[in-house]
Amino acid sequence: MNRRIAIKTAAALAAASLLAPLSAAQAQAWPDKPVRLLLSQPPGSGPDNIARLLSDRLYARWNQPVIIENKPGGQNTVGAVAAARSPADGHNFYFATTAALVTNPFLFKQLPYDPAKDFVPVAFVARSPFGILVKADSPIRSVEELVAKSKAAPGTVTLGNEGPRTFGGMIARLFNSRSGAQANLVPYVSVGVSTQNLMGGHVDAIVADVASTAQLAKQGRLRLLAVTSDKRLADWPQVPALSEQLSDFDMVGWFAIVAPAGTPATAIERMNRDVNALLSDDDVAARIAAVGPIAAPGYSPEQTGAFLAREHARWAKITKEIDILPE
């Protein structure tokens, strides 16, 4: 009896030893065809620029094309739905934003996808701070002056944003609420339009992501009054963070890579490992910073998932604070 058990055990161990190298070989073989990275933003946007930078570097590592597919519209819902319905074959990923994964559930009564159920976390990419900006020749020189001027004449100081239910719009509402400012919040269809109107003198200030406005600020056409992160930015050390005036004010967008639920673990682990390696590269981090965001390497899929859960809980409180209800 014992001899038969020993023979069976030896056979099982031998079979396992044959399968282990096969599994490792399969992991190294991925990807064996082009990988699709879907975005909810248009070509030329901040997220698009970062995704294309990563796709070029991943192609060099894998010798497989990483195809960027842009599906903007519907406050990220068009792209998110397309990504959620993509085959979970390990070759489809979603380069997602804060809106797509966290804030949309608080904005829509009937969201056509479920961020928690339809996707699995893969990697965290970068944080994208916003800023309050004015024209370079504006008489408003600081956030304190902006707040004071808006209080002196309520409703006359205008603060452009992308609309009350966008990330920038919610930052503007939170800024008004916590600072006591009484700025008139003016909605625009995009950051580009609000920026043009700011330079044309049609609004006093705007809330916009640093990625979209950094070049204009560096050219001296716009001036950053403050950034919305909890700390000053390395590339803008002279610009104060709003947290220096408003306690615990930390409102930054971010980018994360997720995949359709059911995606093989092998593909998730390899994508995570290679994206983190790229984000840890000084040249890649510098190129991302030049666009505006700050690379954030080192997150495992599990840590990315935990971050998303914390952000969901945080935004549940923020949307109540600024009286945002789903529609």
Mean pLDDT calculated for residue range 174-192:
95
pLDDT at 1: 42
pLDDT at 272: 98
112 CB burial (10 A radius; 0-12, 13-18, 19+): middle
Q: Is the pLDDT of residue 2 over 50?
A: no
Other CB atoms within a 10 A radius of the CB of residue 301 amount to 20
Task: List Cα–Cα distances, 296 to 4, 45, 150, 299, in angstroms.
Answer: 55, 19, 36, 8
Position 6 confidence tier, pLDDT thresholds 50, 70, 90: very low
pLDDT at 292: 79
The three-point CA angle 226-228-232 to 5° equals: 65
Q: Is the pLDDT of residue 115 over 60?
A: yes
Q: Is the pLDDT of residue 25 over 90?
A: no
The three-point CA angle 33-35-36 to 5° equals: 140
Residue entry with tokens 């979603």: 94
Common-topology check for domains 33-128+252-321 and 129-244: yes
H or E segment and range at residue 133? strand 119-135
Secondary structure of residue 123 in the 3-state scheme: strand
CATH, domain 129-244, list 3.40.190.10, 3.90.780.10, 3.30.420.40, 3.40.30.10:
3.40.190.10
Q: Is the pLDDT of residue 5 over 50?
A: no
Using alpha carbons, select from 120, 147, 112 the residue that is nearest to residue 242.
147
Q: Is the pLDDT of residue 196 over 90?
A: yes
57 CB burial (10 A radius; 0-12, 13-18, 19+): buried
What are the pLDDT digits (tens) for 215-254?
899 999 999 999 999 999 988 999 999 999 998 899 999 9
Integer Cα distance of 69 and 83 in angstroms = 10
Q: Is the pLDDT of residue 12 over 90?
A: no
Say what percent of the chain tops pLDDT 90.
Answer: 81
Residue ranges per structural domain of the chain: 33-128+252-321, 129-244
Name the token pair of 262.
């059911």
Position 290 confidence tier, pLDDT thresholds 50, 70, 90: confident
Other CB atoms within a 10 A radius of the CB of residue 100 amount to 25
What are the pLDDT digits (tens) for 56-77?
999 999 999 999 999 999 889 9
Integer Cα distance of 222 and 210 in angstroms = 11
> Is the domain covering 33-128+252-321 a CATH 3.40.50.1580 domain?
no
Which range (6-10, 28-32, 174-178, 189-193) has the least confidence? 6-10
Position 4 confidence tier, pLDDT thresholds 50, 70, 90: very low
Q: Is the pLDDT of residue 213 over 60?
A: yes
Integer Cα distance of 25 and 121 in angstroms = 24
Strands 92-97 and 222-227: unpaired
The answer to whether residues 241 and 227 touch, using CB atoms and an 8 Å cutoff, is yes
**Confidence (pTM):** 0.84
Averaged confidence pLDDT in the chain: 91
The answer to whether residues 144 and 224 touch, using CB atoms and an 8 Å cutoff, is no
The answer to whether residues 104 and 166 touch, using CB atoms and an 8 Å cutoff, is no
pLDDT at 28: 64
Mean pLDDT calculated for residue range 267-281:
98
